[in-house]
Amino acid sequence: MVSDININTANDVVNDIVSWGGEAVAVMADVAKEEDIQNLIDTAVEKYGTLDILVNNAGIMDNFVSAGNLTDELWEKVFAVNSTGPMRAIRKAIPIFLEKGKGVIINIASVGGLYGSRAGAAYTASKHAVIGLTKNVGFQYANRGIRCNAIAPGGVKTNLGDTITDSDKFGMERATAGAVINPRFGESEEIAQIALFLASDESSFINGAVITADGGWTAY
């Protein structure tokens, strides 16, 4: 299942998968909307009979807005996509996984969820929330055949930057203070390979964990 708020982008990915001999279905979903998440997972079950793996990958930035300039509107918008969306998807998937006694959840967090200022206040807090949710779900359902892990990427070449439209000058200056020590930006395929490993039985003993993938940026 390929899901995106932009159905054209989702269809492009489906076409790539099909061109390589695979099978895929595109579904438009705004993860900030409960009904879209319900429809996405219901469609997966209708199409394939069950759900095996859930990857929560949608995310938006927060224009590096510092706490002193943060509005309720921005806070709620960022949390709706970055934190509440994954929670709702997990909530929807858990009964399916419990019934079959098996399931894998992969949350795409961020190094911003491990440290204090890789972005603005809302994004930072939302990604910390994703990591806390990951650990909670991983432990609580460990004896029920369900694993939940997170990937914390550093800078990766994706369209996430498109959600940066009007940066907070003070917040961006502080958040990018350590950017000069970033060894390099990653490719999306490099994150996908980690997700593939976490989705497989080869990672059967990894649960409630966060894998940092940042080229060594946070090792400094």
Quick: pLDDT tens for 22-72. Answer: 999 999 999 999 999 999 999 999 999 999 999 999 999 999 999 999 999
Is residue 220 among the annotated active site residues? no
Say whether pLDDT at 131 is over 80. yes
DSSP secondary-structure letter at 160?
Answer: G
Burial class (CB in 10 A: 0-12, 13-18, 19+), 52: middle
Task: Please state which of the four CATH numbers 3.40.50.720, 2.40.30.10, 1.10.3720.10, 3.40.50.970 is assigned to the domain occupying 57-219.
Answer: 3.40.50.720
CA distances from 90 to 34, 45, 87, 106, 112 (A): 12, 15, 5, 10, 21
Closest CA to 142 of 208, 198, 210: 208
pLDDT of residue 176: 87
Q: Which of 115, 123, 141, 220 is catalytic?
A: 123
8 A C-beta contact, residue 82 and residue 130: yes
pLDDT of residue 165: 79
pLDDT of residue 164: 77
